[in-house]
Amino acid sequence: MGRLSNALRDAASPRWGLAYWRARRARIPTERRARFWLTEHADSVQDAAGALAAVTGAAREECERAYANAWLPDPVAGDPAVWWPREHLSRLVAAAATLARPRTAIEVGVARGYSSAAILGALDALGEGGRLHSIDLPPRDEDAEEFVGRAVPERLRARWELVLGPSRNELPDLAERIGPAGLFFHDGDHSYASQREDLEAAWPHLAPGAVVVVDDIWTPAIFDFADAHGVRVAIASWSEHSDGVGLLRKSRA
C-alpha cells in the first residue's frame, strides 16, 4: 500500500490516521524506557509455569500441563519463519485461558492472529462456549482483510469477534458491551502510554479473579498499574534476552 493509499485510508478513518501518527511519534517514551530494566524486578521473573501458578493459584504441575498441551495453529503459507518467542507466547496465553476458563476474553493486538488462534483453541477445548473479542489496528501497509487474523482457522471463527481500529477508541465500548471478561490479553502498542491506558480501560470490566497477560514488558507500565490497583505482577521469561510477559490477576474481593 503506497503513500497515496495510506493518505486515503487516513482521510476515510481519521481516528486510524491519528493512531498511526501517535504510534510513530511516541512509540516508547525514551526517558521512561531508559530508566527501566527488567533485571530490577528479578523477584517477579519466573518461568512460564511458575508465573502462571503465581497468578492463577493453580498447582505448578497443572500449569506445566496446560502450557505443554496448548494447541497451536500451523504457520500460514507465505508467513516468515516462526519467531521463537511466538510459540512461547502462544503457549502461555493459551495456558492462561485454560486455567482461567473465561466465558469472555478480550485481546488487544492481533496481527496475523497466532495468539488469537491459540486462545480460541483453548476455549474450544474447554467446551464451555467461551468467546474471544479482539481489537486490532492493522499495519498501515497491509490489507486488513487479508492480513489480520489470517492464522485463525475457520473452525474457530464462530466464537471470535474482530473489531478493527485503535484500542483507545474501541476498547472502552467493547469492554462495556460484552460484560465481565475473565481474560485480558494485551499485545498491541507496547509503549508505556498505550499499555497503561488499555489496562485502565479494561480493568473495570474484568470479572473478579480475571487473569491479565501483557506481552513485551519494555516499560514499567504494568508495574505502575499494579501498584495503583494493589495487585502483584509475575513475569514469564524464557531467556536472559527476553523482554518478558507480564501477568496479574484481579482480586476476587
What local confidence, expressed as pLDDT, does residue 3 receive?
43
Determine the structural domain holding residue 195 and report its residue range: 3-249
> How much helix, strand and coil, in percent to the nearest 5, is found in the chain?
50, 15, 35
For residue 88, pLDDT over 60 is answered with: yes
**Can you tell me the mean pLDDT for 198-202?**
98
**For position 204, which CATH number holds?**
3.40.50.150
Q: What is the pLDDT of residue 197?
A: 96
Residues 102-159: tens digit of each pLDDT: 999 999 999 899 999 999 999 999 999 999 999 998 877 777 778 889 999 999 999 9
Whether 34 has a pLDDT exceeding 70, the answer reads: no
179 band by pLDDT with thresholds 50, 70 and 90: confident
Let me know: does 99 contact 52? Beta carbons within 8 Å: yes
The percent of residues above 70 in pLDDT, for the chain, comes to: 82
Q: What is the pLDDT of residues 204-224, one digit of tens each?
A: 999 999 999 999 888 899 999
Residue 194 one-letter amino acid: S
pLDDT of residue 19: 66
By C-alpha distance, which of 102, 142, 139 is closest to 119?
102
Reply yes or no on whether the pLDDT at 8 is more than 80.
no
Structural domain count, the chain: 1
Residue type, 172: P
Residues paired with residue 164 on neighbouring β-strands, in sequence order: 136
pLDDT of 10 over the 80 cut: no
pLDDT in the model for residue 56: 96
